[in-house]
A and B are shown apart, each in its own frame.
Chain A
Amino acid sequence: GAGVSQSPSNKVTEKGKDVELRCDPISGHTALYWYRQSLGQGLEFLIYFQGNSAPDKSGLPSDRFSAERTGGSVSTLTIQRTQQEDSAVYLCASREGQYTEAFFGQGTRLTVV
Chain B
Amino acid sequence: GENVEQHPSTLSVQEGDSAVIKCTYSDSASNYFPWYKQELGKGPQLIIDIRSNVGEKKDQRIAVTLNKTAKHFSLHITETQPEDSAVYFCAASYTGGFKTIFGAGTRLFVKA
Contacts and interface: CB of A to CB of B under 8 A. Distances in A.
Contact of B101 (A4, A45, A93): A45
Contacts of A43: 44, 89, 102, 105
A106 B41 CA distance: 8
Interface residues of B, number: 23
B102 A42 contact: yes
Interface in B5-26: 6
Given A56-B97, A98-B93, A41 B105 contact: yes
B34 A101 contact: yes
B49 to A, nearest CB: 7
Interface of A: 4, 31, 33, 35, 41-43, 45, 48, 50, 55-56, 58, 91, 93, 95, 98-99, 101-102, 104-107
